[in-house]
Chains A and B, each alone.
Chain A
Amino acid sequence: MARKRGRGMAACWYGIARTATIDRAAAWAEIDDGGSAKIVTGVTEIGEGILTVLAQIAAHEIGVKPEHVVIGDNDTARAPEAAHAGASRQTYMIGNVVALASREARKRLVGVMAEMWDVAAETIRTGNGEIWAENTNHRITMGEAVACAKNRGVVPVGSATFGTDTTGIQDGKGGDGSGRPWQAYVFGCQVAEVEVDTVTGEVQVLAVWAAHDVGRAVNPQGVEGQIEGGIVQAIGQGLMEDYQLKDGHTSTSGFAKYILPTSLDVPRVNSIIIEDPDPIGPLGVKGIGEPAMVPTIPAVMNAIYDAVGVRVFDLPATPEKILLAMREKARREAAMAMQAAE
C-alpha cells in the first residue's frame, strides 16, 4: 500500500490583544439622520472581516440593521486611536469599544425619547430600526427619533475608550517572567487526518477538525474563515513553504520557487466554535485570527507519525525529508532485526 493514512491532534492557547502591555482603543458613534449609525475608529479591515463585525455590533447595540451602519475611514487625523491591526485584538479591543460608544449614543437618544414620551428610560427598547416604549403605543422609527432629538437641540453621539487591565512581565535580568500579559485567553484543539505517499513522501492533509474558543462569535462565518485560512497558512509552513537564504541572498524570490498552498493542497476544515464569554469586556467576545494557526502543524506532524512512524523535527516536512526519515527508520529496524537474529 503506497499511501498510508493517520491522525494526530494538538492543543493550543493564546492571549488576546497586545502582549504584556496595556492595550487601548477608542471609537466615536453617532446615530445619524434617517436612523443610520456612523462609527469612526482608527483601524480597518485587513481582510479578517472586522468592518462587518463592527457593523453588527453597532447595529445590535443601537438597534438598527447592520446595512445601516457606516464605518468611517480610519485615518490618524480624522479618527480616534484604535492602535494596530494585529495581535488578534480587533474584535476584542475595537469590538468592545464600538459597543460602548454605541451604547452612549443610544443612551442620548433614549434620554430624549423618555422625556418626550414621559416614560422611564429603562422601558425604552430599540431594534431593527425602531424605537418604542414597552407597554405603550409609542413606537417610531429611529430616523424619526433622531429628528425629534435634533429638534430639541441634541445630536445623539457617543464616544468611548476601552483599556486592558494588564501588566508587563518581569523579563529583565534575573526576572522570572511573572506578570499579567493578557486579560483574555483562548484555548483550542485540532485533529488532523493525513495521507502519506510512501513512494514520493508527499503528505496530503485531508481533514482538520478545529475547536476554538472565541468568547462569543459575532459572525460565525467570519470565525470559520479565520480558522480555515489560519490552518492553510500553517499547512504551508508545515509542509512546503521555505524562505531560503545562502550567504544572505535568497533563492526563493518568486512564487515559482517559494511554494504556497493552492486549492489542491487544502484539507476539508470542520470548525467547531466554542463560546466561553470573556467576563471583562462588555460583549464577551475574544479573538481567533492567530490561535487558529497554532495547533495545526503539530497536529499534522503527529498525524504523519501515526501514519508512517516518522517524525519531522525540522520544518517543513517536505517529501524529501519524509522519505529520508522513512529510509532511516527502515534501516534502523533492519539493523535491529539483524541484531535480534544474531
Chain B
Amino acid sequence: MVDIRLNATINGRKVSRDAKPHLRLLDFLRDDLNLTGNKEGCGAGECGTCSVFVDGMLVKSCLMPVAKAQGATVDTIESLAKSGELSVLQKAFHKAGASQCGYCIPGMVMAATAALRANPFADREEIKERLGGNICRCTGYQKIFDAVELARDVQNGRLPATALLETDTADGDVIGKSVRRIDAPSKVSGRLKYAGDMIMPGMLHVQVLRSPHAHARIVSIDTSAALAMEGVESVITSADVPGKDGFGVFVHDQPVMAHDKVRYVGEAVAAVAAEDALTAKRAVAAIKVVYEQLTPVFDPDVAMREGAAVVHDYAPDNITKHIPIRVGDVEAGFAESDLVIEENYSTQAIEHAYLEPEAGLAYVDHDDVVTVVSPSQNITHHRHMLARIIAKPISKVRFVMSPVGGGFGGKEDMIYQGMLALLAMKTMRPVRLVYTREESIISTAKRHPSRTNLRMGVMHDGRIKALAMRMVCDGGAYGLSTEGVMRKAAILAAGPYSIPNVRIDTYGIYTNNTPSGAFRSFGALQTQFATESHLDIIAERLGLDPFEIRRINAMRDGATTHTKQTLGSVSLMRALEAAEQASGWEAGAPAVRGETRGDLGHDDVRPSVTLGTRFAAGDTQEAAE
C-alpha cells in the first residue's frame, strides 16, 4: 500500500506528512506525531479516551481512518493548555479532584469542553448526558460533574476565578485539608506519560501468541517461519527462560509463557519482537503450534470432585487454597437458635477494566541491569520473581513503576513483564508491549466468581448464635492472589458482629477458566454480600429494623474477632449512626416498605433518569401505558 500525503492543521500548526493508509487518526496522532495525550482505551469507539476535535466536532479518533482527516483541523488535548496554562475547565478538574488515575481524563476534558461549548449553561443532568460516551473507572464521575459545573460557573461569571485556586493552608495545618492533587495538572493536560506513551530510540514492538485452547498439551512450537521474516528480531517461548520459571503472588505456578501445556484460553505461548507492531503481529501468525487436547474442567465444584481433570500436578484435588475459621461449636449454636435461615448466594467474574490496558518497556542498561518499566502495583515482589526467572542477582534487576492508569488489583500480577525482560535480554534493544483491550480482557485476572452457602441461627431478640459459611471460588488456571483472597474473604466473612459460634470455609479452586486474582475488596466483597443480605432476610423475619439487628450484634470496643484477636476501639456503632442520620432513615423492619416510606426523595438524591439511558425502551413502554 502506498502512503498517503496528509495535509491538515493539527493543534494550530500546518502538518504535511506521509502516513500509512491503514492508520487510524489516533495512531497517526500518537505514533507519528507523538501527541500521546489522547489515549487508546478500547480501540472500538466505546470508551472516549481517544476523543479529539475534528473541525470543531468531538470525534472518537480510534474510529476515524487517517485519510478522513485530509484537509481537516484537528485539535487534541495538547491544544487546550496553551504554553502550559491550563484552560478554565482543566483548572476546574484540578480543583474538584476530578482526576484519579488520569487515563480517561484527556478524553473526558475534551468531551466536557465540547459540552460547555454546545451549552454554556448546561445543568448537571445535561452534563451527564453529554459525557455519556466517556468511561471513567476510578472516580465514580461525581467529581467530574462537579468540575464541569465549576468551570461553567466560572466561565459564566457566576463564580469568581479564585474559586479555582488552591485551598488555603497558610495556617500551617496541612493535614485534613483538600489540597489539590499534585499530579492533576499533568493528567488534565495529557502531559503524563504512561508506559504505552513512552518511546525509546531503537525500540522494538512486541506481540504475543495466545492459546486458543483451555487445556491442551503443547506438542511442538515451530518459530522458524516467524524468525525468518524481515523485521523480526526475536521470537521467544518457554524454552528461552534461563532460570526457574514461575510467578504468582503466593504460589509460583505460572510460567512466563506456557510450559508443556496451556491451561486457559488466552494464555501466552510465544512472543515476538519486531521493528514495528504490524510485523510482530504477522510473525505471531506465522508461529506454528501443535496442540493435543486435554479434558478441561470449567466448574469449580466439578473440579473438586474425585476424578476431575487436574489443572496442576502439584494440586491433584485442584484446591489452590482452603481457609478455615472456627469459633465455638456451630452445631450447638444452631440447636440453641430460635430461627435458622439458610440461603445460597453467588457472584460473577468481573473485569477490572482499568482504562489503561497493560503496557510496558524493558531494556538492558549500560551496567547490564535488566530494567522493566510498567504500571506494576508490586515492583518489589516482581523484581524478586524476575530475578529467579532470568537467573540474575537482584541487583541486576530493576523495576520502575510507570504511572498506573487504573489498577484495582489487576496490575499486581507479573503477567507480561517476564516476556519483556527476556526479549530485551535476547535483542539487547528496548522492547515495548501494549495490550489491546481485547487482549487485556481475555488474558488477565478477574474477580473470583463465588458460590456461597450461608446458614445463620438467631434468637427472637435478634442475637446471632451461629454462622456457618462455605464459599467455593473459581480461581481459574493459575494461583495468582487466590490464596490471599480466600484468606481475607474468610477472616471478614462473618461481618463486624460478635458471634459465639462460627464455622467458615473458603476454597479457591483451579479450573481452566481465565485466572482470578486480586481485585479491590479482595474476597471480602463476596462474603459480606452474602452476610449483609442474610441479615436483612432475618431482620424481616424477626420484625427488626436492619440497623437495629446490626446494632444488637455489633462488635464494640475491645471485642474479640472471629480470628480471636482483641480489638481496641471499634467505630462500627458510629458508622451505623452516621449513615442512619445522614440518610434520614425511617426505622422499620425491611418488609417491602418501598413507596410507603417517608424517607424517599430527599434533596441529596439525584433525579431518576428518564432519557438517554441504555434501557430507553422501558421508558417508551412506560409512556405508552
Residues of chain A with a CB closer than 8 A to B504's CB: 177
Which of B349, B378, B571, B606 is most buried by chain A, counting CB atoms within 10 A of its CB?
B571
| A162: Cβ under 8 A from any B Cβ | no
CB of A290 within 8 A of CB of B521, answer yes
Cβ contact of B563, chosen from A49, A181, A189, cutoff 8 A = A181
Contact A9 B547 (CB under 8 A): yes
Please state if A5 and B175 are interface contacts (CB–CB under 8 Å): no
| Cross-chain contact of B585 among A9, A15, A84 (Cβ < 8 A) | A9
**Contact: A46 with B101, CB < 8 Å?**
yes
Please determine whether A269 and B565 come into contact, CB atoms closer than 8 angstroms: no
B324 within 8 A of A: yes
Q: Report the minimum CB–CB distance from A310 to chain B (whole Å).
A: 9
Q: How far is the CA of A207 from the CA of B535 in the complex (A)?
A: 22
Q: What 0/1 pattern do residues 245 to 285 of A give for CB contact below 8 A with B?
A: 10111101111101110111111111010101001000100
CB contact under 8 A between A219 and B618, given known A86-B412, A188-B575: no
Q: Contact partner of A315 among B176, B347, B604, CB < 8 A?
A: B347
Contact of B178 among A185, A207, A222, A252 (CB under 8 A): A222
User: A residues within 8 A CB of B132?
Assistant: 262-264
**Counting chain B CB atoms within 10 Å of each CB, which of A180, A242, A249 scores highest?**
A249
Q: How far is the CB of A252 from chain B (nearest CB, A)?
A: 7
Partner pick for A241 among B296, B351, B397, B613, CB 8 A cutoff: B351
State how many angstroms separate the Cβ of A3 from the closest Cβ of chain B: 7
What is the CB-to-nearest-CB distance from A210 to chain B, in angstroms, rounded to a whole number? 7
Q: Which of B371-385 contact A (CB under 8 A)?
A: 371, 375, 377-381, 383
Q: How far is the CA of A26 from the CA of B533 in the complex (A)?
A: 41
Judge if A116 is at the interface, Cβ distance under 8 Å: no
Does A65 belong to the interface (CB within 8 Å)? yes
Give the complex CA separation of A77 and B370 in angstroms.
Answer: 11
A interface bracket (residues with beta carbon within 8 Å of B): 35 or more
Complex contact B605–A248 (CB within 8 A): no
Known contacts: A179-B563, A313-B533, A315-B348. The answer to whether A206 contacts B487 by CB under 8 A is no
Measured in the bound complex, the distance between the Cα atoms of B139 and A231 in whole Å is 9
Inter-subunit contact A248/B298 (CB<8 Å): yes
Partner pick for B536 among A254, A283, A305, CB 8 A cutoff? A305
Given A171-B487, A314-B346, A42 and B379 touching (CB < 8 A)?
yes
What 20 new A-B contacts, CB under 8 Å, besides A189-B576, A295-B532? A6-B592, A7-B599, A19-B484, A51-B181, A74-B401, A76-B399, A81-B380, A127-B172, A187-B570, A188-B575, A206-B607, A207-B604, A225-B139, A225-B140, A233-B140, A245-B514, A253-B438, A262-B132, A262-B141, A293-B525
Is residue B512 within 8 Å, beta carbon to beta carbon, of the partner chain?
yes
Q: Does B470 contact A (CB under 8 A)?
A: no
**A-B contacts, 8 listed (Cβ < 8 Å):** A52-B183, A74-B400, A75-B399, A171-B323, A171-B490, A175-B324, A191-B580, A262-B133
**A86 contacts B518, C-beta separation under 8 Å:** yes
A187-B571 contact, Cβ under 8 Å, with A181-B491, A202-B613, A222-B178: yes
Contact with B along A1-25 (1 / 0, CB 8 A): 1111111111111110001100000
| Of A54-62, A106-114, A143-151, the one with at least 4 CB within 8 A of chain B | A54-62
> Does B585 contact A45, Cβ atoms closer than 8 Å?
no
Q: A211-B578, A213-B574, A231-B140 are in contact. Are A15 and B488 (CB under 8 A)?
A: yes
Stretch touching chain B among A27-35, A152-160, A296-304, A334-342: A296-304
Within 8 A of B (CB), among A178-200: 178-181, 185-191, 193, 195, 197, 199-200
Say yes or no: A308 contacts B594, CB within 8 Å: yes
Q: Are A191 and B406 in contact (CB under 8 A)?
A: no
* Alpha-carbon gap, A133 to B498, bound state (A): 52
A179 to B325, CA, bound (A): 10
B570 touches A12 (CB 8 A): no
B351 touches A258 (CB 8 A): yes
A260→B137 contact, CB < 8 A: yes
Residue of B nearest to A179 (CB): B563
The answer to whether B514 touches A250, judged by C-beta atoms less than 8 angstroms apart, is: yes
Give the distance to chain A from B357, nearest Cβ to Cβ, in Å: 12
Of all chain A residues, the one with the shortest Cβ separation from B516 is A243
Name the contact of A298 in the complex, choosing from B101, B166, B496, B529 (C-beta under 8 A).
B529
Query: What is the CB-to-nearest-CB distance from B120 to chain A, in angstroms, rounded to a whole number?
Result: 19
- The residues of B that contact A13 with a CB separation of less than 8 Å are 492, 495-496, 555, 572
Question: Could you say which residues of chain A place their CB within 8 Å of the CB of B537?
Answer: 311
Complex Cα distance A45/B371, Å?
Answer: 20
Please tell me if the beta carbons of A47 and B613 are within 8 angstroms of each other in the complex. Answer: no
Q: In which size bucket is the chain B interface?
A: 35 or more
Interface centre among B182, B524, B555 (most CB of A within 10 A): B182
- Bound state CA distance, A249 and B266, in angstroms? 9
Are B492 and A14 within 8 A (Cβ)? yes
A83 at the interface (CB under 8 A from B): yes
A74 cross-chain contacts in B, Cβ below 8 A: 379, 400-401
B618 touches A202 (CB 8 A): yes
Q: Is A204 in contact with chain B by the CB < 8 A criterion?
A: yes
- Measured CB to CB, the nearest residue on chain B to A280 is B568
B1 at the interface (CB under 8 A from A): no
Report A317 CB to chain B, min CB distance, Å.
11
Q: Measured between alpha carbons, how far is A247 from B600 in the docked complex, in Å?
A: 45
Do residues B143 and A199 form an inter-chain contact, with CB atoms below 8 A?
no
Check B585 against A191 for contact (C-beta < 8 Å): yes
Most chain A CB within a 10 A radius of its CB, from B166, B397, B405, B409: B409
Q: Which residues of B contact A2 (CB under 8 A)?
A: 621-622, 625
A48 touches B100 (CB 8 A): yes
Identify which of B404, B521, B613 gathers the most chain A CB atoms within 10 Å of its CB. B521
In the complex, B63 has a CB within 8 A of chain A? no
Residues of chain B from 90 to 141 with CB closer than 8 A to chain A in the complex:
96-97, 100-102, 127-129, 131-135, 137-141
Query: Quick one: which of B46, B172, B594 contacts A256, CB cutoff 8 A?
Result: B46
Which stretch (B7-15, B152-160, B331-339, B440-448) binds chain A? B440-448
**Chain A, residue nearest B534 (CB):** A298
Residues of A within 8 A of B21 (CB): none
CB contact list, B500-535 vs A, under 8 A:
504, 512-514, 518, 520-522, 524-525, 528-529, 531-533, 535
**Distance (whole angstroms) from the CB of A238 to the closest CB of chain B:** 8
- Residues in B with CB closer than 8 Å to A134 are none
A224 CB–B CB distance under 8 Å: yes
A324 to B613, CA, bound (A): 21
Q: Which of B404, B594, B622 contacts A199 (CB 8 A)?
A: B622
Contact status B383-A76, CB under 8 Å: yes
Q: How far is the CA of A177 from the CA of B349 in the complex (A)?
A: 27
Q: Are A46 and B377 in contact (CB under 8 A)?
A: yes
User: Would B606 and A268 count as touching, CB distance under 8 A?
Assistant: yes
Asked if A222 and B97 sit within 8 Å, CB to CB, the answer is yes
User: Is the C-beta of B246 less than 8 angstroms from some C-beta in chain A?
Assistant: no
| Chain A residue at minimum C-beta to C-beta distance from B101 | A47
Contact B594 A6 (CB under 8 A): yes
Q: Given A6-B597, A77-B369, is A44 in contact with B605 using a C-beta cutoff of 8 Å? A: no
- Distance (whole angstroms) from the CB of B148 to the closest CB of chain A: 10
* Interchain CA distance A51-B101 in the complex, whole Å: 12
Residues of B within 8 A of A46 (CB): 101, 375, 377, 404, 406-407, 411
Are the CB atoms of A47 and B102 closer together than 8 Å?
yes
Q: Once the chains bind, are B579 and A9 in contact (CB under 8 Å)? A: yes
- State the CA gap A181–B492 with chains docked (Å): 10
Chain A min CB distance to B84 (Å): 16
CA separation between A42 and B399, bound complex, in Å?
A: 10
Q: Which of A11, A59, A83 contacts B380 (CB 8 A)?
A: A83
Cα–Cα, bound, A228→B100 (Å): 11
Instruction: Please tell me if the beta carbons of B442 and A250 are within 8 angstroms of each other in the complex.
Output: yes
Give the residue of A60, A254, A295 whose beta carbon is less than 8 angstroms from that of B441. Answer: A254
The answer for the CA separation of A210 and B582 in the assembled complex, in Å, is 9
B24-55, CB under 8 A of A: which get 1 and which 0? 00000000000000000010101100000000
Q: Does B546 contact A (CB under 8 A)?
A: yes
- Complex Cα distance, B137 from A236, in Å, reads 10
Contacts of B405 on A, CB cut-off 8 Å? 47
- Is B82's CB within 8 Å of the partner chain A? no
Across-interface contacts of B135 in A (CB, < 8 A): 255, 260, 262
Q: Does A234 contact B (CB under 8 A)?
A: yes
